[in-house]
Amino acid sequence: MTAGPVHPMLHAWPALIPVAVLILGLDGYCLVNLVRAPSVRNLPKPLWAIVILFVSAPLGAILYLCFGADRTGTGRARTPARDGAPPSAPSAIAATAAVKPAVVAPAPGDGPLVVTTTGLSRDYGGVGLFDVDLAVPQGSIYGLVGLNGAGKTTLLSILAATRRPDRGTVSLAVGRTSAAVCPDVPEFDPWLTSTEVVDLARSLVAPDASSTSVAGALRATGLADAADRRVGGLSRGMLQRLGLACALVGHPELLILDEPMSALDPAGRAELLGVIASLRGTRTVIFSSHILADVQRVADQVGILRAGRLLYQGSTAELMDRYLTPSWLLRIAGPAGPVQAALAAQSWVTKVAATESGVLRVDATGIEDGERGIPAIVAACGARQVACEPVAADLESAFLALTGAGLKEAA
């Protein structure tokens, strides 16, 4: 019995599979773009969804791409609509909600840049990271500070290539194999000892390194006495140290640390900060923290994030100089009235007040003005200066002054 002729479509259907996959992929891409875009053109989003799904494929998707999709970009990396601010130029560091960025370029003496980003953005539905331009000098310790949810972990994850940005570029002056990362919550197999964990890290990232580097990394992080203890019996703080030891064992040129002191007691924090400080000049370290005293203690460069935007980056000292009013407590032997009157008449003095008998608090426009001007005024008045001490300034005060100013301008 002879079979009848085969319909031509049965021969053609395998060739149609790639076309169908392409059409479905185009429709899927358009739907995802539609959902994530802050705005679309010509029609509301629900109507565009109907066009994509029910107009003859792939005509609906093509109509959306031509007449509906936002042509300024994918939409995901743009400033959220609730911020009310236009996207920043790629070369500028964006501030929060129409606040102009307080950008401080690295000083010429800071050396070449190891990490630079341009317009780095990752939008998680209105939160995330927006138009961040980072500049990290070689050999510096860069402290990234901000409240919880400011975008610190997102930024570090993108630098470490464990997340992808929606928009923007990342440039590293070192190879990926010369960069090491320690997450905020490092996890290891509980049956391994500390030595085995660090040695495993060495074999993966620096197989040519000697075994003595394992003992050195454990010693540097204060785990020499726990070298033979199993990981399952270590405390959270000891696990944090072990993660840093794994990062250090390969002698990286760039070290990225996410909240490295988060689980440590004060003594452990001080010890680990000492380890980080010892790397200045020989390694480039980027670490995040919400403990401002830790950042001030070891960081020579600081970046302040708020709501995913970089409000400031530059030297820690210049941050405090720019956003804090330099003040001194001046103690005079004898009547302080003439000195107070003479200081009040100076253009560089913003405020002078007597805090107690013979003690004046002097606020100046700049540190140099005060350091040069106060002794000169005291000498001109013929007064006897007992002491002149600067009022202590800290990073927390500068942080609050900067973010508070940003909030006030945005309002």
Residue 257 lies in a domain: yes
- Distance from C-alpha of 343 to C-alpha of 170, rounded to nearest angstrom: 50
Residues 304 and 329 in one domain: no
List the beta bridge partners of residue 354. Answer: 360
Domain count, the chain: 3
CB-based contact 262:184 (threshold 8 Å): yes
Q: Cα 199 to the chain's mean position, in Å?
A: 30
pLDDT for 84 equals 34
Give the position of tokens 């700049």. 366
Residues 314 and 364 in one domain: no
Residues 233 and 288 in one domain: yes
Q: Give the single-character DSSP code of 2.
A: P
Q: Residue 364: which CATH number?
A: 3.30.70.100
- Distance from C-alpha of 388 to C-alpha of 360, rounded to nearest angstrom: 9
pLDDT single digits (tens) 260-305? 887 777 877 888 888 888 888 889 999 998 888 888 888 999 999 9
pTM for the model stands at 0.61
Helix 8-36 to helix 59-67 angle (10° resolution) is 30
Coil, strand, or helix at residue 314? strand
- Distance from C-alpha of 120 to C-alpha of 103, rounded to nearest angstrom: 16
Residues 380 and 288 in one domain: no
Q: Give the single-character DSSP code of 304.
A: E
CB atoms within 10 A of CB 113: 17
Q: Residue 278: which CATH number?
A: 3.40.50.300
Residue 143 φ/ψ, nearest 5 degrees: -95, 120
Residue 80 lies in a domain: no
Length of the chain in terms of residues written:
411
H or E element at residue 327: strand 327-333
**Domain extent at residue 288:** 102-320
pLDDT single digits (tens) 70-109? 654 433 333 333 333 333 332 222 222 223 333 444 443 4
